[in-house]
Amino acid sequence: MSMPSPQLTLLRRFISDRRGAFAISLAILGAFLLSMAALGLEGSRYITERARLSDAMEQAALALTAEDNGEGASRNDVLSMSWLGAYMNHAEKIDKPIIRVLHGSADGVHRLAWVEYRLSSKVQQSSWFASSYFPSFNKQVKVGDNGAARKFRSNIDVAFTVDFSGSMRWPIDGRDTGTGPWKISVAKEIVVRLARQLAQYDIDNKVAFVPFGWGTRKGNICTPQFVLNTITPEKLSGLFSNNSNENVSQLYRYINYPATIAAIPNQVNDIRLNVNSNYIADDLCLSFRHPDDFEQGVMTQAETVELTTDPEYLNSAIMNMAASDRTLASSGMLEATQVLAKGTAARKVLVIVSDGEDNPLYDFENKIGITQSLIEAGLCEKIRRVLTTPSSVGKIAFIALQYSPTSDWEKCVGANNFYTARNYQEFEDAMTRAVYEEVGHNTLKDY
């Protein structure tokens, strides 16, 4: 039976009519095309976000390794979140990083130790093309990554030479407040804390403590390490029998400055004073114990503690030392250099802490002090040469505690090794940075 002609004509016309063909194809492929566009745009965006997050984690790891505050320190969270916030400023939410701290050591010529900080975190972003009608990313997406940095340290000898003048008995928060621990107590506390940290690396790190006033002391003998011009013992004793400015300033003219520099790091015995002798003034050469010291339980004499690996021995040796003298920083520097010269570590660091200018040992006519004269004669350069080892240049750091030096200490130690501290936290930060200087480098991370 044949199809009626009108129906056949309509069928043929429908088959040959191409109008709307592409609309049908587009309708069929629309969901797929929208999905590809969404995934392509969003995917590249999230890949970029992850790359930025990776950079942020690497920089945060470097910052944590540089400071090395230890596992669980609140400072770690603050520092890492600061880096993440700076890099991921468009993120809707940043998860608190998970921070792991790893330690290790390697025996060898330089006794290397390392510390490694590993961080991981996630950030949340909103998708631009999220839809339930075609395949796409979720409305909110979390992008995660991690970073790691490792810092190597060779073993180190550190000598802290600390001002034991009477002003170090003032409160760390200011003389006028009358509250807070003494500056000298804080200094000793931080030294012991750093000694304990160094001991944890177990690579033979050593710490020495050299209190200074007009001189340094071993037992009952005060030995300012200056080479003198010809001087009779009687006249020398007279210089230390009275603490008036006019009397003691005479010492300036008896010092042979070039010879003192040339003698470094050898022991100098031109001045040897028994602090128990009646010709030594009460508050000179670390010989005096102030009545306030008894109220604070301070009863031991202040004398040099040689390099030691035992932080508890150091603690017991220095914690009750009394401060009572005037200030003469170069006497401590010379003694500390002799102590460090005996060490065998790959790195040697001399850290000087003072809360005031030399007093009153200077030439009144030229207004220049003993320490400044020695600095101009090459004191700092000679000390660095003595402390330099095959693997490290010797380092000197100076911390001005609650005063502004007129002597050019920055020129002596270098801009990066000169610190000023106005309060407890700044003092602790300066002491830590003076010892730990390496930043570290990024290392292989988790994937």
pLDDT at 393: 87
Which residues are within 8 A (CB) of 60 and not within 5 positions of it... i.e. 6 or more apart?
A: 79, 80, 83, 84, 97, 119, 147
Q: Quick one: pLDDT band at residue 283, thresholds 50, 70, 90? A: low
* Alpha-carbon span 354 to 337, nearest angstrom: 17
Looking at every residue in the chain, the average pLDDT score rounds to: 83
Q: Which of 315, 323, 276 is nearest to 298 (CA)?
A: 323
Would you say residue 290 has pLDDT above 70?
A: no
Q: Count other Cβ atoms within 10 Å, centred on residue 235.
A: 10
Name residue 242's beta-bridge partners: none
Q: Domains along the chain?
A: 28-153 (no CATH), 156-442 (3.40.50.410)
pLDDT at 19: 67
pLDDT at 302: 87
pLDDT at 47: 87
pLDDT at 291: 57
Q: Above pLDDT 70, what percent of the chain? A: 78
Specify burial of residue 83 (Cβ count, 10 A radius: 0-12, 13-18, 19+).
buried
259-276: average pLDDT: 90
85-105: average pLDDT: 89
Would you say residue 293 has pLDDT above 80?
A: no
pTM score, two decimals? 0.74
Segment 356-409, tens digit of pLDDT: 888 766 665 666 788 989 999 999 999 999 999 887 889 999 999 999 887 789
* Lowest model confidence (mean pLDDT) among 46-50, 237-241, 299-303, 389-393: 237-241
Identify the H or E element spanning 308. Answer: strand 305-308
Would you say residue 262 has pLDDT above 80?
A: yes
Q: How many Cα atoms occupy the beta-carbon half-sphere of 93 within 13 Å?
A: 7
Distance of CA 14 to the CA centre of its chain: 85
Segment 158-206, tens digit of pLDDT: 999 999 988 898 888 765 555 678 899 999 999 999 999 899 888 889 9
Specify burial of residue 208 (Cβ count, 10 A radius: 0-12, 13-18, 19+).
buried
pLDDT at 158: 97
Amino acid letter, 155: N
pLDDT at 89: 87
Would you say residue 324 has pLDDT above 90?
A: no
| Tokens read off for 420 | 């000023």
pLDDT at 391: 79
- Alpha-carbon separation of residue 23 from 10, 14, 243 (angstroms): 22, 16, 105
Segment 118-161, tens digit of pLDDT: 999 999 988 887 777 667 778 888 999 999 998 877 889 999 99
Higher pLDDT residue, 300 or 121?
121
Higher pLDDT residue, 140 or 236?
140
pLDDT at 443: 66
3-state DSSP call for residue 30? helix
Q: Above pLDDT 90, what percent of the chain? A: 41
pLDDT at 200: 86
Long-range contacts of 171-175 (CB under 8 A, 24+ apart): 172/402, 172/423, 172/424, 172/427, 173/423, 173/424, 174/402
Helices (H) and strands (E) in the chain, counts: 15, 16
**Residue in the block written with tokens 């401060």:** 323
Would you say residue 236 has pLDDT above 60?
A: yes
